[in-house]
A and B are shown apart, each in its own frame.
Chain A
Amino acid sequence: MLTSITHSQIYVLDQDEALDFYVGKLGLEVGADIDLGFMRWLTVCVPGHPERQILLEKPGPPSMSEETAAQVRELVTKGATGGSLFFSTNDCRKTYETLLGLGVEFTEEPTERPYGTDCGLRDPFGNSIRFSEPKS
């Protein structure tokens, strides 16, 4: 049987810019940054949780044609590729204030929900990210 999720993937349009955002602003950690020759294998994870990696993949050949990559980029920038990440936090408002100060683009301010407090943001490319503080 399946035992855990080790890697999830989202598309980013520029891996250096993705690093600035996911590590420099969100505070994730680089899990792997390896030039495989045919691709740059770049993953990030929540500090202390290397068992769950997010692959920041750049669409392009030879994985897909230039034409398809252009379509993927078009969809990412429309916020239409899926590419949703959900994080938990121990202090939603404080994290929100910190990230807002770093210039992160929020789509929703911290809001009370039946399950806790959460908010939404986008990465520089259009992917949707949320984080929430579960009700204790």
Chain B
Amino acid sequence: MSRAAEESNRRLLRARDAMDRGYAEPLDILALARIAHVSPAHFTRTFRAAFGETPHRYLQRRRVERAMFLLRETDRSVTDICFLVGFGSTGTFSRTFRDIVGRSPRTYRKEAATVATVPTCFTMAWTRPHT
């Protein structure tokens, strides 16, 4: 592991943090690659090598994790939640949610149990659905 690779990791982590923070915004690879100081193509490749999934998939899981939270803890409509967590259309939201969680947002809401309150960075990391 060279110093250059450590610095690259650190910059990729900064871009990943930006997704955790700005998931509700229309984030694009160009802006994230800028944070990581690399070209968009290189960004996707190195991000995947470091974290085991593409930035796009990571962002989807972050958004779905937030959607799961809002479905569990609020009475907002599924459509509201879709846009609140950064999806551009309800079709994409439903498809992505089902793909990741294995259930539709409505079914998830019916079946979900509440999660105990612990520091949010742990909740964020550990309630995030698998790929």
Contacts and interface: CB of A to CB of B under 8 A. Distances in A.
Contacts of A91: none
B13 A78 contact: yes
A77 B10 contact: yes
A112 to B, nearest CB: 11
B13 A79 contact: yes
In this complex, the interface size class of chain B, counting residues with CB under 8 Å from chain A, is: 10 to 19
Contact of A78 (B21, B51, B119, B120): B51
A66 B5 CA distance: 15
Contacts of A17: none
Most B CB atoms within 10 A — which of A73, A79, A113, A132?
A79
Contacts of A73: 1, 6
A86 B119 contact: yes
Nearest to B16: A79
Contacts of A130: 119, 121
Interface stretch (A19-27, A92-100, A121-129): A121-129
A107 interface: yes
Given A71-B1, A74-B6, A78-B50, A113 B120 contact: yes
B15 to A, nearest CB: 12
Nearest to B8: A77
A42 interface: no
Interface string B8-21: 01101110110011
B79 to A, nearest CB: 24
A122 B13 contact: yes
A51 interface: no
B21 A108 contact: yes
B117 interface: yes
A130 B6 CA distance: 23
Given A114-B117, A118-B120, A130-B119, A74 B17 contact: no
A107 B17 contact: yes
A84 interface: yes
Given A13-B6, A115-B117, A105 B1 contact: no
B1 A126 contact: no
5 contacts: A73-B6, A77-B6, A84-B121, A122-B17, A130-B119
